[in-house]
Amino acid sequence: MKTIIKHICLAAFFISFAHADGPGLGVDKLYSDGAVVLLRLTADQKIFLEKEYKNQRERALRLTKSQSEKIKKIFKIETTLLEVWDTRKYATDCTCASANVALRFADDYLEVLEPYLVTDKEAIDKWKSWEEVK
């Protein structure tokens, strides 16, 4: 019984943060629901994104100092980690366990989505809590 109550509480917790429909994309696979910051990927970042990782914390893309500064200047949020969704390869759906979402729509570019931006600590905590539920 305690296990069922625990799962119900966890579900309620995550539902409160859910963007269940995912980020809105236009027919061009670009974000259509608000402001973005456009970032150009470095060669090392492109290589990193092509590898497979076992969880989101390992998969989080580390930003360069200038990329982080650009996000902070425009959106007033300091972060160095992004969760990258490649819209060229798959559809974007539920963002329930997502934080710092960026959409890779081309080989060299990402769109960083303002509604999903949080600090590094908040992003890591969210990713860890989702791993614990699985």
Tens of pLDDT, residue by residue over 71-113, are 999 999 999 999 998 887 765 666 667 889 898 888 999 999 8
Domain coordinates in residue numbering, the chain: 2-133
Cβ atoms of residues 71 and 88 within 8 Å: no
Q: How many CB atoms lie within 10 A of CB 5?
A: 9
Taking the C-alpha atoms of residue 55 and residue 114, their distance in angstroms, rounded to an integer, is 23
Taking the C-alpha atoms of residue 130 and residue 134, their distance in angstroms, rounded to an integer, is 7
* Nearest by Cα to 56 from 106, 6, 111, 102: 102
pLDDT band at 30 (very low <50, low <70, confident <90, very high): low
pLDDT at 93: 61
